[in-house]
Structure 1
Amino acid sequence: MIKIARRFLNWWAALAALLLMGVQVACDLYLPTVTANLIDKGIMQKDLHYVWQIGGVMLLVAFLGLLAAMGNVFFASTQGMKVGERIRNAIYQRVLHFSTNEMVRFSSSSLITRSTNDIVQIQNVMLQMMRMMLQSPIMLVGACVMAYSREPRLTRVLAISLPVLVVAVIVVMYLAMPYFRVMQRKVDNINRVFREGLTGVRVIRAFNQDQREQDRFRKVNEDYTRVGFRAFSLMSFMFPIMTLVLSMTNVGIIWYGGRLIAGRSMQVGNLITFMTYANQILMSFMMLSFIFFFIPRAQVSAKRVNAVLDQPISVSDLPVGQLEPLKKDQPTSLQFKDVDFRYDGAQHLALRDLNFKVTAGQTLAIIGGTGSGKSTLVNLIPRLFDIERGQILVNGQDIAKMSQHDLHSLISITQQKAVLFSGTVRSNLAFGNPAASDEQMWRALEVAKAADFVKEQGGLDIKVEQDGGNFSGGQRQRLAIARTIIKPAAVYVFDDSFSALDFKTDAQLRLALKEDELVSQAVTVIVAQRISTVADADLILVLDDGQVVGQGTHEELAAHNPVYQEIINSQLQEGDDGREA
């Protein structure tokens, strides 16, 4: 928590809240003393002028305390929310720079919990820290001093009640804290199952597994509820314990104080003042004890948030002085030199000894069986992973020595899963090129063979639901391809982006890509399963178990490469001989 506060808290605002809280506490502690004087010197002496005079002072002190309390609440609440805002921004920015290795370590459901529930816990404690967490101990100490200075003999009652409260709080906290620590992990489980249910709802319905998923969610929900019930049930014992001790303390003070008054050794005002201070002491202790319930939860949340913020990023730029500037006059090319790649923690290489080069206007096609490493290879081009050995050169520059910002300005990619953002077709295309005109957007849609259905549904401003849920798989792919080609780039990558298209649309789209002025001047990389999709490429890589087992044109590979021949034979039954009719 200290680390979070140091990083995100505005200390000037916190200091203002602390000063205002000090004024409020001083006013609260001063009022009982004024009340005692009002009773003893005014009411008991029947001095009406003194009553009005002291009454005015009390109103002034109470009003000052009210203003200080309002100011303290303002600064505390705004800073509490600002801290949450800053942490959420920091986590989001951090996650955007995560490589796949970091995303695997922190699951999506856990990251959602950390950026919502965990931050709420931290916000609440930050608010309480600037309110009750500092106010309670100051009030507790101040009230004890004032009570003792007013009537030392009555403090014997507090000497009995306070240890009882301390023991009760320690016992309840000892029993409840383990449950609070477990609750955050249970929230992760709920988010995970709920998210899987939302993203996989069509699969669930298709396999008629509705009841199974409902039972699965009910199980984790009941698990969380059971832990929360135990934690808050134990915590709820504090209310009756506090009430009982407070009531018994007041009874003891009145009984003992009444005897002292009857013996004319204490004034009535002192009794009322001491009771007020006793209530402040016990209420401050009660507030302080409740804060201790939330601190462990917030501490767990702070550790989880710090784990994200402090996680080293495996793919990062070199120090500024060692980075190579982007050379814009270099001829367009993509080259792999002796590249090996291994996933984090894996024993075996996922890709090994990759060597090839393509230049402007050429198309590189990558084909191979499932798990052969096709998507892994193309993910190395935008440096989503760092390689273990070798070099990857874009326009003759080593991508490891370029800033990721410069590298990504040279590359435009359509991932294996077509991802669309909620908004409109226009906003999704602008994601690829914010400065694109309507004419450029329609050009990209024409090349991607998406213009017809976009026009039919209302044009560039038609709504796109989250993940493109209001479009078919083929339409989503074509919109994603349009977003890719609208961006001016040196390398265009299509990672199995034609899989949802029929053969005719596939052929028309690839022909349009070749004829497009922007794409035809760049390097095009296509990952595909179909022979027909890769047959016209200038260079075809055949991958098998992470190795290039053949490279060349379609005719060369079809004549001499056994793996490529096997792929052709497996697709002949589907009427795909590798060429368009």
Structure 2
Amino acid sequence: MLKIARGRISSWAVLGAVFFMIIQVIANLNLPSLTSDIVNNGVAKGNIGYIWRIGFEMIAFSLLSVGAAVVNVLLAARSSQKLGQNLRSDIYRKVMNFSNDEFDQVETSSLITRTTNDVVQIQNVTMMALRMMIMAPIMLVGASFLAYNKSPQLSWIFVVAIPVLVLCIGLIMGLAIPLFRAMQTKTDRLNLVFREGLTGVRVIRAFRQDRFEQDRFEAANQDYTQNSIKVNTIVAFAFPVMTLIMSGTNIAIVWFGGQLISSQTMQVGNMIAFMTYAMQVLMSFMMLAMIMAFLPRAAASATRIQEVLSLESHITDPKEAAAQVAEAPKALAFDHVDFRYQQAEQTALTDIDFNVHAGQTVAIIGGTGSGKTTLVNLIPRFFDVEKGTVKVNDVDVRQQNLHQLHGEVAMVPQKATLFTGTIRDNLKFGNADATDDDLWQALAIAQSSDFVKEEGGLDAHVEQGGDNFSGGQKQRLAIARALVKQASVYVFDDSFSALDFKTDAALRAQLRADQQIQQSVVVIVAQRIATVADADLILVLDNGKLVGKGTHDELRANNVVYQEIMKSQLREGEAALS
């Protein structure tokens, strides 16, 4: 916990909280002694003036205690909340810089839990640390010393009460701590099942798996609930046990203190003060026990957060990035590239080699699992190659600054992702400085103008994930967003799959005619022959290997795999594709 708090919490705020907590404890420790003085020297002797004087001192100490407590709480709250804010920001910033390999190591549901629930646990314990963790040991030592000064004869009661208290609390915490540690894992599971149910609700309904998913969620929910009931039931025993021990301590103090008073070896005021100090001693142990109950869960949360913060992406900016030439020729090249996923036995791509320049379109086609998406993911350097080089504008992507590289590549992924806001907001993801004319031009090329106007124009609302649009509309908006970006390489990863043949053909015709696109490289991943037929270069992939490279006519005449794809898509008599 100290490791993740370092640098994310103000040292001055912490020192201030400690300082005012010490003042509060000192003020509280003086009150029982003043009460003892009033009883012994004021009430017993009928000295009204003394009672008033000491009474005003008690009021002053009480006000000092309240004021110090208020400042301590404010500083502790500010420090803990600031720590939580910084942790969430750091986790989010870290995750945004993850490569795809790091995302594969930590589940999305677990990342959400770590950013929310785990951070809250750290905040709560930080607040407790700046309050009770400081107060308890100071009060424990101070109250024990002052109690001994008031009556050494009764101090043996602590020798009995404290070990009994420690034993009971230790037993309770020993049972509760493993359950506290399990809470976060069970929270992860609950979030995972709930998130899958929400995102896959249409599939669940289509396959009539409602009952199965409800039972699955119920099982995770029941597991979490039972664990929570167990741990809270166990912790709940701490309070009656504490009450029993404190009540027994009070009885012992009154019983044996009364005998000392009757033998005139102890004053009444001293017994009252001793009783108060005894309660402060036992309350200090209780506060420490409460902290010990929350610390394991917070420690587990800190470990989980540190796991995310310590993950280092192996895809980083080079120490000395290659200089970017403003007028560099737009080009894309794969030079005998091999790629292997982490811990995979076989390569996902083997000896991929091609070269295209500005104004050219390269299309990638192949069966499911042939490596098409893997190939295009190497262009913006979502992964690093095992062998060979990938070059954008004649510069190895590993020698380019990632921010600049991503600025040179506009990518439309397989799954169109839109964000909550307006159509304008989503399109400007590609270029924040784009004018409305630029946006409408991109929409026109993407065959989206008509339905955008029907929805209300650029300021039409977009729900989370673009759920208020059809699959084809989302794809076209995602394409328009990429076109708004003035890039060197445009990558369309199976982005036309939800479009009908007419819209597909019209969109590709607009792409070829656009002046900006003519100055860039276009990469199209597709399943349909009709989509790739007019490309300048077609790459045919099969099991991660480049088994064909050429134009449509060349591949149709000479490549067996390409011919098989054609036969699977074209009816007899349509083999001659125009």
TM-score normalised by the chain length of structure 1:
0.98
Please give the per-residue CA displacement for 1:446-499, whole angstroms capped at 9, x wherever unaligned. 110111001001011111011100000000000000000000000000000000
Q: Secondary structure at the match of 1:493?
A: strand
**Is 1:378 matched with 2:361?**
no
More divergent stretch after superposition (569-578 vs 70-79)? 569-578
* Equivalent position of 1:153 in the other structure: 153
Shift of 1:330: 1.1
CA distance in 2 between counterparts of 1:277 and 1:52 reads 23
Letter in 1 for 2:154: L
**Is 1:312 matched with 2:309?**
no
Shift of 1:173: 1.3
Contact 1:447 1:482 in 2 (8 A): yes
Q: Secondary structure at the match of 2:491?
A: strand
Please give the per-residue CA displacement for 1:373-427, whole angstroms capped at 9, x wherever unaligned. 0000000000000000111111111110111011111110000100000111011
Please give the per-residue CA displacement for 1:516-535, whole angstroms capped at 9, x wherever unaligned. 12112100000000000000
Contact 1:532 1:578 in 2 (8 A): no
Contact 1:428 1:483 in 2 (8 A): yes
Q: Secondary structure at the match of 1:331?
A: coil
Shift of 1:227: 1.4
Q: Secondary structure at the match of 1:338?
A: strand
* Equivalent position of 1:365 in the other structure: 363
CA separation of 1:362 and 1:256: change in aligned 2, threshold 3 A: same
* Equivalent position of 1:130 in the other structure: 130
Shift of 1:169: 1.1
CA distance in 1 between counterparts of 2:318 and 2:306 reads 24
CA separation of 1:354 and 1:203: change in aligned 2, threshold 3 A: same
CA separation of 1:171 and 1:573: change in aligned 2, threshold 3 A: same
Shift of 1:287: 1.1
Q: Secondary structure at the match of 2:354?
A: strand
CA distance in 2 between counterparts of 1:485 and 1:135 reads 61
CA distance in 2 between counterparts of 1:577 and 1:400 reads 43
Matches within 5 A, 1:514-553: 514-553=512-551
**Is 1:398 matched with 2:385?**
no
Matches within 5 A, 1:272-287: 272-287=272-287
Shift of 1:573: 2.9
CA distance in 1 between counterparts of 2:571 and 2:144 reads 91
CA distance in 1 between counterparts of 2:227 and 2:34 reads 48
* Equivalent position of 1:476 in the other structure: 474
Matches within 5 A, 1:214-293: 214-293=214-293
* Equivalent position of 2:387 in the other structure: 389
CA distance in 1 between counterparts of 2:572 and 2:17 reads 74
Q: Secondary structure at the match of 1:161?
A: helix
Shift of 1:208: 1.0
Q: Secondary structure at the match of 2:195?
A: helix
Shift of 1:515: 1.1
Please give the per-residue CA displacement for 1:66-98, whole angstroms capped at 9, x wherever unaligned. 110000000001111111110000000000011
Shift of 1:578: 7.4
More divergent stretch after superposition (51-60 vs 16-25)? 51-60
Contact 1:490 1:523 in 2 (8 A): yes
Matches within 5 A, 1:565-580: 565-573=563-571, 579=577
Number of aligned residue pairs: give it.
578
**Is 1:408 matched with 2:406?**
yes
CA separation of 1:578 and 1:353: change in aligned 2, threshold 3 A: farther
Shift of 1:325: 2.1
* Equivalent position of 1:351 in the other structure: 349
CA distance in 2 between counterparts of 1:125 and 1:527 reads 51
Q: Secondary structure at the match of 2:499?
A: coil
Contact 1:531 1:576 in 2 (8 A): no
Letter in 2 for 1:336: F
**Is 1:441 matched with 2:446?**
no
Letter in 2 for 1:498: F
* Equivalent position of 1:98 in the other structure: 98
CA distance in 2 between counterparts of 1:213 and 1:276 reads 57
CA separation of 1:153 and 1:575: change in aligned 2, threshold 3 A: farther
More divergent stretch after superposition (334-343 vs 171-180)? 171-180
Shift of 1:7: 3.5
Q: Secondary structure at the match of 1:434?
A: coil
CA distance in 2 between counterparts of 1:225 and 1:253 reads 42
Shift of 1:314: 2.1
Shift of 1:316: 1.2
CA distance in 1 between counterparts of 2:240 and 2:383 reads 58
Q: Secondary structure at the match of 2:352?
A: strand
Q: Secondary structure at the match of 1:525?
A: strand
* Equivalent position of 2:33 in the other structure: 33
Letter in 2 for 1:171: L
CA separation of 1:575 and 1:446: change in aligned 2, threshold 3 A: farther
* Equivalent position of 1:168 in the other structure: 168
* Equivalent position of 1:563 in the other structure: 561
Shift of 1:156: 1.4
TM-score normalised by the chain length of structure 2:
0.99
CA separation of 1:459 and 1:196: change in aligned 2, threshold 3 A: same
Letter in 2 for 1:306: Q
Shift of 1:575: 9.0
Letter in 2 for 1:174: G
Q: Secondary structure at the match of 2:415?
A: coil
Matches within 5 A, 1:64-213: 64-213=64-213
Shift of 1:579: 4.3
Q: Secondary structure at the match of 1:461?
A: coil
Please give the per-residue CA displacement for 1:300-322, whole angstroms capped at 9, x wherever unaligned. 10000000000121211222xx2
Shift of 1:576: 6.9
Shift of 1:158: 1.6
**Is 1:502 matched with 2:526?**
no
CA distance in 1 between counterparts of 2:356 and 2:576 reads 22
Please give the per-residue CA displacement for 1:431-451, whole angstroms capped at 9, x wherever unaligned. 111111111111111110111
